[in-house]
Amino acid sequence: MQNIDIARAFDEIGDLLEIQGANSFRVRAYRNGARVIEDQAESIADLAAEGPARLQQISGIGKDLSEKIVALVSTGTIPQLEELRSQVPHGVLDMLRIPGLGPKKVAALFHELHVSTLDELKQAAEQGQVAKLKGFAKKTEQIILEGIAQVASFGQRFSIADAKAAADELIEDLQSLKSVSRASVAGSCRRRKETCGDLDLLTTATDSAAVMDRLAAHPLVDKVLQRGETKQRVRLTNGLEADLRVVPDESYGAALQYFTGSKEHGIVLRRRAQERGLKLNEYGLFRGDDYVAGRTEEEVYETLGLPWIPPELRENRGEVERAEAHELPVLLELSDIQGDLHMHTTASDGTASIREMAEAAKQRGLKYIAITDHSQRVSMANGLDAKRLRAHWKAIEKVRNEISGIEILCGIECDILEDATLDLPDDVLAEADWVLAVLHYGLKQPRQQIMERLLNAVKHPSVCAIGHPSGRIVGKRPGADIDYAELFKAASDYGVFMEINAHPSRLDLDDIQAAAARDQGIPIVINTDAHSTGGLDVLQYGVFQARRAGLTAADVANTSRFEDFKKMLRTNR
Residue numbers at the binding site for ligand DGT (CB under 6 A) = 187-188, 193, 196-198, 200, 258-259, 261-263, 266-267
CA distance 212 to 229: 9
Measured at the CA of 157, the angle between CA 151 and CA 161, to 5 degrees, comes to 115
Segment near Ca ion (CB under 5 A), from 8-16, 23-31, 155-163, 237-245?
237-245
Please, what is the minimum distance in Å from the beta carbon of residue 259 to ligand DGT? Answer: 4
Q: Is 243 in the site for Ca ion (CB under 5 A)?
A: yes
CA distance 242 to 240: 7
Q: Which of 186, 195, 154 is nearest to 257 (CA)?
A: 186
Residue 240: CB minimum distance to ligand DGT, A? 10
Nearby residues of 89 by Cβ (< 8 Å), 6 or more positions away: 116, 117
Report which of 189, 232, 237 is spatially closest to residue 211, judged by C-alpha positions.
232
The single-letter code of the amino acid at 200 is D
Binder to Ca ion among 11, 194, 200, 373 (CB under 5 A)? 200
Q: By C-alpha distance, which of 182, 322, 346, 320 is closest to 264?
A: 320
Partners of 228 in the β-ladder: none
What is the rounded CA–CA span in Å between residue 122 and residue 495? 49
| Residue 262 binds: one of ligand DGT, Ca ion, none (C-beta under 5 to 8 A by kind) | ligand DGT
**Separation between Cα atoms, residue 171 and residue 298, nearest integer Å:** 21
β-pairing, 407-415 with 434-438? parallel
**Residue 323 C-beta: closest distance to ligand DGT, Å:** 18
Least spacing, CB of residue 240 vs Ca ion, in Å: 10
**Residue least distant from Ca ion (Cβ):** 187
Q: Which stretch binds Ca ion (CB under 5 A): 109-117, 144-152, 186-194, 565-573?
A: 186-194
Residue 239, binding choice from ligand DGT, Ca ion, none, Cβ under 5 to 8 Å by partner class: none
Angle value at C-alpha 336, between 332 and 342, nearest 5 degrees: 100
Nearer Cβ to ligand DGT (107/189): 189
Instruction: Pick one of Ca ion, ligand DGT, none as the site partner of residue 261 (Cβ within 5 to 8 A by kind).
Output: ligand DGT
Give which of 499, 220, 554 is closest to 201, Cα–Cα: 220
* Residue nearest ligand DGT, CB atom distance: 261
**Per CB under 5 A, 550 contacts Ca ion:** no
187 lies in the binding site for Ca ion (CB under 5 A): yes
- Other CB atoms within a 10 A radius of the CB of residue 56 amount to 14
Q: Residues 153-172 vs Ca ion: string with x where CB under 5 A? A: --------------------
52 is a site residue for Ca ion (CB under 5 A): no
The residue ranges of DSSP E strands in 253-373, in sequence order, are: 279-281, 284-287, 290-293, 339-340, 368-371
Binding of Ca ion by 415 (CB under 5 A): no
437: phi then psi, degrees, rounded to nearest 5? -100, 135
How many alpha carbons fall within 13 Å on the CB side of residue 404? Answer: 0
Check if the beta carbon of residue 257 is closer than 8 Å to that of residue 297: yes
> How far is it, in rounded angstroms, from Cα 284 to Cα 436?
50
- Contact range with Ca ion by CB under 5 A, out of 7-15, 195-203, 447-455, 537-545: 195-203
> Measured from the CB atom, is 136 or 258 closer to Ca ion?
258
| C-beta closer to ligand DGT: residue 94 or 194 | 194
* Smallest separation, CB 239 to Ca ion (Å): 14
Q: How far is the CB of 170 from ligand DGT (least distance, A)?
A: 15
Cα–Cα distance for residue pair 109/474, rounded to 1 Å? 25
The nearer residue to ligand DGT, 161 or 498, going by C-beta atoms, is 161
Between 541 and 565, name the residue whose CB sits nearer to Ca ion. 541
Tell me whether residue 198 or residue 433 sits nearer to ligand DGT (CB atom): 198
Q: What is the DSSP string of 9-57?
A: HHHHHHHHHHHHT--HHHHHHHHHHHHHHHH-SS-HHHHHHT-HHHHHT
State the nearest-atom distance from the C-beta of 106 to ligand DGT, in Å: 29
Closer residue to ligand DGT in complex, CB, 191/472:
191
Instruction: State the nearest-atom distance from the C-beta of 554 to ligand DGT, in Å.
Output: 29
Pick one of Ca ion, ligand DGT, none as the site partner of residue 132 (Cβ within 5 to 8 A by kind): none
Between residues 212 and 347, which has the closer beta carbon with respect to Ca ion? 212
Site for Ca ion, rule CB under 5 A: 187-188, 198, 200, 243
